[in-house]
Structure 1
Amino acid sequence: MRATWVKTMKLLSRLKLKTRMILVLGLMALLQTGLLGVFAVQYLHQSLEEQIGERALHVAKTIAAVPQISEAVARGDTDALQPISMLLAKKTQARFVVIGDKNGIRLAHPNLEKVGLSMADDEGDDSALALKQGKGYISKDLGSLGWSMRGKAPVFANNDRDVIGVVSVGYHLDRVDEIISDYRLTLMVVIALSFLLSAIIAVWFANHFKKAIFGLEPEQIARLFDEQKATLESVREGIIAINNKGKITIFNRNAIKTLGLSEDTQLMGRSIEEVLPGSAMLEILKTGKPHFDYEVWLQNHSLIVNRIPLKQGDQITGVVSSFRRKDELDLVSKKLTRIQQYADGLRSQAHEYSNKLHTIAGLIQLDAKNEALAFIGQETQEHQELIRLLLEVVPDPVLAGFFLGKYNRARELGLRLVIDPESKMTELPEYLPREQLVSVLGNLIDNALEATLRHKGAGGKVKVSMTDLGNDLIFEIEDQGAGISLHQQQQIFEKGFTSKTEMGHGIGLHLVKGLLETLGGTIMLEKGEEEGSRFIVYLPKIRKA
């Protein structure tokens, strides 16, 4: 039995959704109408029998109450009772009217051969109950004339106390069987129509349902669900989705980890307000306006958050949010920044040395050997002095290489990057990520070079000084630009703010501000000694807890 059931279920799983729904709804209609039909037939059969029995009892009591009948029974007058019983049976459409005396001997019967014989001879006859108890009753018995519903009533003497006989009126059950057969035929028609209607409803519902699920089969949906779950768990960002009631419908393990929750925490079905009080996802449910790259502070970490509304037509059905710790994104960004800075430095050096080689080649072609040698010696001396200064001031190779690259970049632009010879930066702490440090200094120096070039033109200079005396590392970058107004000083660290007209600016100082907050450092802005601006960066030697 179990093997058959398993085989049937496997067979059903191979069918299309529409076919399955037609079969299921059709079988349900057949089962329901079949059960109701059986109940109705049984109930009708019982009701008809009861009605016929009541009619038989009523006729029997009416006949027994006729004075002429009771007098003839008292006399035992068969000749008088026989024709009367036949006439009454015909008038009442009864199958038979049998009259017996107080001993149960038939005085009248449709079959004359039965007259004079005991009523007890019939199988199932219980006339003795009416004769002894003096009460009428109904019974279904198989008598000498077949199955019938009988109504038996006692015949009383004139004093209405002594039972002197019994009247038995029977109605054959053939008519009941005919009525039940007609109803069975009607029931079969109803069952067929119910199945047809169920099939039509199943087709309509299946088409509507498949439209709602984009024409997919249940097995395809299950496979997509498994794929979605695996995809969510493979994504490094935390992901949470809510429905239009603010209840969480989707989340992944990285969301729980990023939010600092216990690994066995179950978020499904919980309110987003319960998990993240004050979440802006509820605001998006109302406005439908997405949030991209929003920075929020949660669980002592800065997160970069994206929130997008889910729509079905014009109706907002939910919101999905992805988020990731900012320090992870910053790490990638800073690595890219460092690579870009190295590439810029190498490009500047290649460009500068290409020009110098052309100059030397020209001097040789002009047979100006002494000038060529002097030029080579001058270039070698300048680089040797710079390298010697960097080795003394900045023994850290990453930072020294960074300054050398920026020096060459400045020369390519026709500017000078001047490093204060009194500088000293020999105590760089181990905790301080070098890529973050060069990202901060690189953005500040690039801005200084651009400001100096725009305002001063070729020949301008940018000064850099640094010291590690005391508890902080201090870096100063001073340009010869046009300066920064008091109003702009309040906005320069905001994301997207820039005084330049070109696209793609307004990010550098915002990134510097964020990096320094991560490192526990600060930045100050003041007017330069001659003109322009001076940025001062303070970084603690000991990492703050």
Structure 2
Amino acid sequence: MVAAVVAGGAVLACLHAAGSTEESARRRVTAVASSVADSPAVVAAVVGPDPSRALQPYAEQVRRDTGVAFVTIMSPAGIRYTHPNPRMIGRPFLGHTEPALAGRAFTETFTGTLGPSVRSVSPVFDRGHRVVALVSTGITVRILDRQVRDQLLALILLALLALAVGGAGTYLVNVRLRRHTHGMDAAQLGRMYEYHNAILHTVREGLLLLDPHARVALANGAARELLRLPEDVEEREVGELALPESLRACLSSGRPCVDEIHVTREHVVVVNKSAVTSGTRDLGSVVTLRDHTELQALSGELDSVRGFAESLRSQTHEAANRLHTVVSLIELGRPEEAIEFATAELELTQRLTDRVVSAVAEPVVAALLLGKAAQANERGVELVVTPDTEIGDSMIPETLGSRDLVTILGNLIDNAVDAAMEAGGDAPRVFVTARVSGDRLLLRVADTGGGVGADAVEEIFDRGWSTKDGTRPARRGLGLALVAQVTARHGGRVEVGREIGAVFTVTLPLAREAMA
């Protein structure tokens, strides 16, 4: 391209040089001829007895001073008075003179005794404005060609210099481009872009590329879906996006993230973030996002199952102890005391079971309450199902699945049991209420713990907020965040109050359109 531009420019410059040289020659010879024709000395000499003797030295002086090829002064009949070659004096002028004889100066290209030349012929007027002589000045084409060749040589040298500079610049740009593209040409870059685009939008994991200023450079489809990102997310700063505060802080910071769990409105997301560098340059960071929602729910269910198993194991152990006690009392000859001891324990357990089964027809919720009651009892906390608890059969629609109910109740009860234990006291208790009121399901969990401070009400539902110590803080503080997420997903709300301790009230709509 550089060569084509330079060659085209050189051709145009050559054409312009040739045309301008000829035009300059025409103006030059016209000016010289007019000046000589207007000279009073020339007018006086042409009417004198010997015009050649007076005019030949003058004409040669003018020729040398102006650099033209010839200055010829002639009679109206075309007989030369002057000529660079003295032998041509007195001979007829070779060329046209008719326009000049009519009183008008003109220029032409004509071949005369000195070869082809650009010449001008001007009339010489006397005081009566009669044409008494003619003046012709000219520059030979050979001189013009030499001038054009000199200009062309300069143009060619300039073009070669421009070509060399352009070639060197092109080479340097190409080397730099190759270095930045790792030696790949345009076709290879095109294929890599196609593969890159296909991979980004087909992987199931969410992928974000952030520049050094925490602006989104790229977001694939999975990331847009997980984080509910807008269509114009590219080039926007992370701080402008509608994301949870903890996730914004993670993405905006320069620190790496490894398997951090963050809770959005609809998903539990595992975030990994690492810096991207090229040599000493900071290119930003790459963020991968994995949907952990289902796995988190399954983990919660697994924890519940494990809790049930531990409870059954503990109850089996306690049952064995009670059985040994009963057998020992019988062996000691105290059957009445053995019967009283056995029936008292059975009545306590059966009373709680009957209360839960009669009040809660939803089997999963009933099993959860029984299991949590057993777990709480092992830890010295009494779980009380309030008298107004009542969930009849078919009251809960399929859209409000049992898994979500387990997530809400299980996390609230676990936190309440922990709080009641930490507070201590003579009779730590947890009170659970689950009932349907109109078109809404009300779940309330209260404890005898220390409660939630007014300054912490807004923070307790953030991921990572926890009063517990642990070796894996990234896994702590998820319970209440999950409760808030599930509640918001179903169009409900969570309220935090304080009576004897903390009171968490979750209200969920049962109508399908409200939960959509």
Q: So what's the TM-score if we normalise by structure 1?
A: 0.63
**Cα distance 1:391–1:181, how it changes in 2: closer, same or farther (>3 A)?**
same
Distance in 2 separating the partners of 1:295 and 1:391? 34
1:460-482 alpha-carbon deviations (Å, 9 max, x no partner): 66454544466654445454x54
In the TM superposition, what are the counterparts of 1:510-525 in structure 2 within 5 Å? Answer: 510-517=481-488, 518-523=490-495, 525=497
Uncovered stretches (5+) of structure 1, i.e. residues with no partner: 1-23, 73-79, 282-286
Q: How much has 1:58 moved relative to structure 2?
A: 3.6
Is this contact kept in 2: 1:522–1:539, CA < 8 A? no
Is this contact kept in 1: 2:30–2:137, CA < 8 A? no
Q: How much has 1:128 moved relative to structure 2?
A: 2.0
- Does 376-385 or 349-358 show the bigger shift? 376-385
> Which residue pairs with 2:368 in the alignment?
402
In the TM superposition, what are the counterparts of 1:214-363 in structure 2 within 5 Å? Answer: 218-219=186-187, 222=190, 226=194, 230=198, 290=252, 332=294, 335-349=297-311, 351-352=313-314, 355=317
Distance in 2 separating the partners of 1:115 and 1:474? 133
**Cα distance 1:478–1:86, how it changes in 2: closer, same or farther (>3 A)?**
closer
- Does 229-238 or 193-202 show the bigger shift? 229-238
> Which residue pairs with 2:129 in the alignment?
161
Distance in 1 separating the partners of 2:455 and 2:508? 24
Distance in 2 separating the partners of 1:68 and 1:488? 120
> Which residue pairs with 1:508 in the alignment?
479
Is this contact kept in 1: 2:107–2:119, CA < 8 A? yes
Q: How much has 1:446 moved relative to structure 2?
A: 0.9
Distance in 1 separating the partners of 2:38 and 2:157? 42
Q: How much has 1:483 moved relative to structure 2?
A: 3.3
Distance in 2 separating the partners of 1:52 and 1:68? 22
**Cα distance 1:450–1:140, how it changes in 2: closer, same or farther (>3 A)?**
same
> Which residue pairs with 1:142 in the alignment?
111
- Which residue, 451, 455, 458 being the options, matches 1:484? 451
Q: How much has 1:154 moved relative to structure 2?
A: 3.2
Distance in 2 separating the partners of 1:426 and 1:443? 23
Q: How much has 1:164 moved relative to structure 2?
A: 4.0
Q: How much has 1:127 moved relative to structure 2?
A: 0.9
Residue 195 in structure 1 maps to residue 163 in structure 2: yes
**Cα distance 1:471–1:56, how it changes in 2: closer, same or farther (>3 A)?**
closer
Q: How much has 1:441 moved relative to structure 2?
A: 0.8
Distance in 1 separating the partners of 2:498 and 2:319? 41
Is this contact kept in 2: 1:393–1:425, CA < 8 A? yes
Aligned-residue identity in percent: 20
> Which residue pairs with 2:153 in the alignment?
185
- Does 103-112 or 196-205 show the bigger shift? 103-112
> Which residue pairs with 1:130 in the alignment?
100
> Which residue pairs with 1:65 in the alignment?
42
**Cα distance 1:154–1:404, how it changes in 2: closer, same or farther (>3 A)?**
same
Distance in 2 separating the partners of 1:488 and 1:99? 115
**Cα distance 1:356–1:251, how it changes in 2: closer, same or farther (>3 A)?**
closer
Q: What is the aligned residue count?
A: 474
Q: What is the SS of the residue equivalent to 1:65?
A: helix
Is this contact kept in 1: 2:70–2:139, CA < 8 A? yes
1:235-289 alpha-carbon deviations (Å, 9 max, x no partner): 7879899999x9x98777886999899xxxx8599x979xx998789xxxxx999
Is this contact kept in 2: 1:242–1:320, CA < 8 A? yes
1:351-397 alpha-carbon deviations (Å, 9 max, x no partner): 4377579979999xx9x9999x9999999998887766654433323
Q: What is the SS of the residue equivalent to 1:71?
A: coil
Is this contact kept in 2: 1:54–1:138, CA < 8 A? no
Is this contact kept in 2: 1:452–1:461, CA < 8 A? yes
Distance in 2 separating the partners of 1:175 and 1:392? 123
Aligned-residue CA RMSD (Å): 5.9
Q: How much has 1:192 moved relative to structure 2?
A: 1.4
Is this contact kept in 1: 2:59–2:82, CA < 8 A? no
Distance in 2 separating the partners of 1:96 and 1:376? 147
In the TM superposition, what are the counterparts of 1:386-535 in structure 2 within 5 Å? Answer: 390-410=356-376, 413=379, 417=383, 419=385, 423-427=389-393, 428-430=395-397, 431-456=399-424, 462-468=430-436, 472-479=440-447, 481-484=448-451, 487=454, 490=457, 493-495=460-462, 496-502=464-470, 503=473, 505-517=476-488, 518-523=490-495, 525-528=497-500, 535=504
Distance in 2 separating the partners of 1:82 and 1:437? 129
Distance in 2 separating the partners of 1:222 and 1:33? 36
Uncovered stretches (5+) of structure 2, i.e. residues with no partner: 244-248, 254-259
Residue 36 in structure 1 maps to residue 13 in structure 2: yes
> Which residue pairs with 2:246 in the alignment?
none
Q: What is the SS of the residue equivalent to 2:23?
A: helix
Amino acid at match of 1:348: E
**Cα distance 1:296–1:419, how it changes in 2: closer, same or farther (>3 A)?**
closer
Amino acid at match of 1:189: L
Q: What is the SS of the residue equivalent to 2:111?
A: strand
Distance in 2 separating the partners of 1:163 and 1:31? 49
> Which residue pairs with 2:28 in the alignment?
51
Q: How much has 1:194 moved relative to structure 2?
A: 1.4
**Cα distance 1:392–1:139, how it changes in 2: closer, same or farther (>3 A)?**
same
Distance in 1 separating the partners of 2:233 and 2:495? 44
**Cα distance 1:209–1:60, how it changes in 2: closer, same or farther (>3 A)?**
farther
Q: What is the SS of the residue equivalent to 1:148?
A: strand
Is this contact kept in 2: 1:141–1:147, CA < 8 A? yes
